[in-house]
Amino acid sequence: MFRTLQSRLWLTYVVLILTVLSILAVGIFVYVVRHPVVDRQTLQQLDVTSRVIKRLFEQGKFRNTITQRRIENLSEQFAMRIMIFDVEGREIFDSDQGAGEFNWRRLQSSIPGRGLIRDDHNQTWLFTTQKLRPDNTLFLAAPRQGGLSFLRSPQFREVLRDEFLPPFIRAGAAALVLALILAYGMSRWISSPISDITHAARKVTEGEYHAIDPQGPSEVRSLTRTFNEMLHQVQTSQQSQQDFVANVSHELKTPLTSIQGFAQAMIDGTVTDVEDMRQSARVIQDEAQRMYRLVLDLLELARYDAGTVQLDRTNVDLEQLLVQTMDKLSLQADQKGITLLREVAHLPLYHGDPDRLSQVFSNMIDNAIKYTPSGGEVKVTGKVLQDRVEIGIVDTGQGIPAHEMERIFDRFYQVDKSRGHDQDPSSGLGLAIAREIVQTHGGSIHVRSEPEGGSQFLVYLPLTHAVGVDRDE
Ligand code: ADP
């Protein structure tokens, strides 16, 4: 009972409506108590009676004892006191001789008029006064019940039954029905998109990813949009995890197959010659080495993912670092007939991890040599921009197709997988690691390329980590 959001919202509205109706009823009740309707009725009765008596008086019938008797009857019948005063305030007639006396001055001030007055017995009266020709005053009064005693009076019950309750009950019922319908619609409007999200979330556990159309109030719509984003991320990350496992298995399987084959040949005795044995053992060692490097790369990436990589920062002379890296790769470039060029301006000392930065530049220069045909050119540039250092590795190689540029930093991604692993130990992890290293330094890597027009890799390192002392000083 009332466990769901919709039923609770609905219940809230019902309680709210009932509360408003109760407050309204109490308000009207208080109004009735403070301005009793009964007083209004009594005053009307006093007015009517006073007009009748005035007429009798003016027709001169008052002196008639039968008329006086009739007036006394009226007084008894309507429980009102009828008095006539002369100009001095002396009583000419009083229907209730024994009752309390009134202050003549107070009465005089309200002729003709109506209101409330207290007698010398402290009884409160509702009264009307009016002039009688020639100089007399007619005073009619009815006792007013104190406190809430009027609630017991039949007039009050009559007013309550005929005037107050029927419209209140009708309006209240109509308001309640209308509000319940509105409340139902409103609670559905809020809760149904949330039910959709719950349904969609349940489907995710079954492996189905369905985005939801944002509906309902803005908070719920924003929740839906966030849910959709999360859904997309979960889907992407699950996909990339699956790809990752498939890639790792593939990358490990290739050298393992090779190792297994050569080892088997040695055990079977297929390879008997000492030189062949040595050759097989070398292949096994190379493949094991390749697997080892792959595992090291994966562990390194896992550390970046976990955020546990600690940079070993010192003051790095970037130009010298670039020269050393290029020197290491110069033989490789020479062998391939590629010219290595350097165009590096004065760079400030940079506070970074030299080994990791060298790994970045080495990977990029190595790629540039690898993907540039013989006779081409690889240029390393370096300059200081406003708030960062820019290192560029520009080649005249095959370039990267526009639609691949975003993906070359993904793990295991290689533009041309078919290039194979024969002599090439590349696995598609180099740029992924390079990006992690640069980002951990607070920088970024960008690539520009034209098909067949070479590639340009740009590494930006923020100058907040520059030491600010020029190397030449
Ligand atoms: P790999 O070990 O295959 O070089 P990387 O992560 O270093 O892996 O590079 C990913 C892919 O990006 C490469 O396989 C290659 O297709 C592409 N690539 C990287 N650098 C260049 C370049 N200078 N010219 C053309 N393609 C490049």
Q: What is the pLDDT of residues 300-309, one digit of tens each?
A: 999 999 999 9
- pLDDT value of position 467: 60
In angstroms, what is the span from residue 262 Cα to ligand 1's centroid? Answer: 30
| Mutation test residue for ligand 1: of 361, 414, 459, the one with most atoms within 8 Å of CB | 414
Instruction: Give the Å distance between the CA of 427 and the centre of ligand 1.
Output: 9
Give the mean model confidence (pLDDT) for residues 255-277: 92
For residue 438, is pLDDT > 90?
Answer: yes
CB 352 within 8 A of CB 313: yes
Give distance in angstroms: CA of 413 to centre of ligand 1.
8
State in Å: Cα 406 to ligand 1 middle. 12
Determine the Cα–Cα distance for residues 460 and 446; give it in Å rounded to an integer: 8
Q: What is the pLDDT of residue 370?
A: 93
**473 pLDDT exceeds 60?**
no
Phi/psi for 119 (5° steps) reads: -90, 180
Q: Alpha carbon of 354 to those of 311, 365, 447, 468: distances in Å?
A: 9, 16, 22, 17
**Structure tokens, 40:** 């209004």
The pLDDT assigned to 468 comes to: 52
- pLDDT band of residue 420 (cuts 50, 70, 90) is very low
Ligand 1 atom 14: the closest Cα is on which residue? 414
Distance of CA 376 from the midpoint of ligand 1 (Å): 17
The ligand 1 site (C-beta within 6 Å) comprises: 363, 367-368, 371, 395, 397-398, 400, 408, 413-416, 426-432, 455
Which pTM value belongs to this model? Answer: 0.60
What are the tokens at 467?
Answer: 């030491």
How far is it, in rounded angstroms, from Cα 324 to Cα 273?
42
Q: What is the DSSP letter of 464?
A: G
CA of 428 to the centre of ligand 1 (A): 7
- CA pair distance 5, 199, nearest whole angstrom: 15
The protein residue with its alpha carbon nearest to ligand 1, atom 26, reads 400
Planar angle of CA 112, 118, 120, nearest 5 degrees = 120
Choose the weakest-confidence range: 63-67, 429-433, 440-444: 63-67
Residue with CA nearest ligand 1 atom 20: 367
Strand order across the beta sheet in which 444-449 lies: 339-344, 377-384, 388-395, 455-462, 444-449
Q: What is the mean pLDDT of the chain?
A: 87
Q: What is the model's pLDDT at position 437?
A: 97
